[in-house]
Amino acid sequence: MRRAGVLLHVSSLPSEGPIGDLGPAAYGFLDFLAASGCKLWQILPLNPTDHGHSPYGSPSGFAGNPDLLSVQALADAGLVQPGPVPVRHGHVDWDAVKLWKRPLLRTAARALVAREPEALDHWRAEQPWADDWGLYAALDEQHGSWWTWPDEALRHRDPEALERARGRHEAAIQEHLALQLLFDRQWAALKWAAGERGIQILGDMPLFVSGGGCDTWAHRALFDLDGEGRPRNVAGAPPDAFSAEGQLWGNPVYAWDAHRADGFTWWRARVARVLQHTDRVRIDHFRGLQATWTIPAHAGSALEGAWREVPGGDLLEVLPRERLFAEDLGTITPEVLALRARSGLPGMKVLQFAFGEGATHAYLPHTYDGPGWVVYTGTHDNDTCRGWYAGAPEHARDRYRRYTARDGSDVAWDLIRLAWASVANDAVAQMQDVLDLGSTARMNTPGTTGSNWSWRVSDVPWWVSGRLAELSEAYGR
């Protein structure tokens, strides 16, 4: 089945308040997609963000991000009285999220604990990751990453220390888990509404997790850590189209022998959790399932890393591959291509990368060897199409103009048309490209900090739904 869709993270929705959420604007966006002939909604990871607000450095591979909860829905459920809502700006207001929204969320969580203790106990019993997350979250808000916790026995998960800590922090644990129950409820309602409109939600799963997060604390044997729990080696990427110096992500690499020895239990649980919230999932940095760019933890640069092969093929054998696709970008070798081919996962084509070389470039639509691809105008790590064109070398701009027989004045929609017209089963455009925005609307610039992850759409853009619908109809999507 041929489908088209839009990439827009929940935090970027035009919700009332300081951040996009799971409330009315999300349902309005679903209506926009349906009116546009779009059957896909691509999102970014739904996990809690790191201190730089990135959803790709989460302290949990299982928990949902409470910041995305709809305060309006909580108020409608009688769990909170929000009072005046902060003025909505053209970006995520992280200060207001911290100072206005999070206290309201905790109030709602306490109300749920008091009102529905049995429902919370039932949900808690069904989520094997929940108890570890609840205690970790309670301690994290007091002490930060688990490496810095003052109680050594607790850092090393001494059973008696864990029991004492759970007793001391039970109220906070219940509040954190109530937030997770509320997240699951609100997201389940939104996912159901998407299904009613014939829309699939495409999720995204980072390959790695945070070194100081809950997963490494709860499952130390599954990661390459020293005796104190700190990484011996970390993951990153060599120089590529995103960064001339490579990328030093700092996430611990996996102890793959341990994962394989227990049948990849943690991985299977993690993927199952992501698939509770989505219809299909993109494995971010799929390339790392063939070999990981492994950097000594003490290194000052990604250039000091080297490729280390991993048993990704064995892992993929035990995962529901029919619901996965691969972000197979970066330094791709024949071995990576062979792994993806054996696994049967669709791969990605990014049109912004297609025009730097000649007529045989693998991302040019006429070269696609069949429908088993997901084609994007650009991803969250790319500039917008208009920004790309403004900054691209002239030879790439010239190839684009000659390939499309266009003059560059409507570059975003030229690339949207190319994606929709391609043989690929799935075609996705960033919302920024649907709106024909410039570089100031970029979601993320890899290797930088500061203004990333904060862009928001100002309103649901009904005025372009007809243009998208026309393309979807014309190209059988």
Q: Catalytic site residues? A: 284, 327, 381
Percent composition of the chain: helix, strand, coil (DSSP 3-state, to 5) = 45, 15, 40
Give the DSSP per-residue string, 376-395.
Answer: ES--TTSPPHHHHHHHS-HH
Q: Cα 452 from chain centroid?
A: 14
Q: Is 229 left (phi over 0), alpha (psi -120 to 50) or beta?
A: left
* Contact indicator for 134, 123 with CB cutoff of 8 Å: no
CA distance 388 to 346: 25
CA distance 319 to 314: 9
Residues 6+ apart with CB under 8 A from 127: 62, 180
45, 47, 54, 445 from 209: Cα distances, Å: 12, 11, 12, 20
Beta bridge partners of 201: 41
Nearest to 464 by CA among 406, 410, 413: 413
Residues 6+ apart with CB under 8 A from 228: 147
DSSP, res 87: P
* Contact indicator for 55, 65 with CB cutoff of 8 Å: yes
CA distance 15 to 37: 23
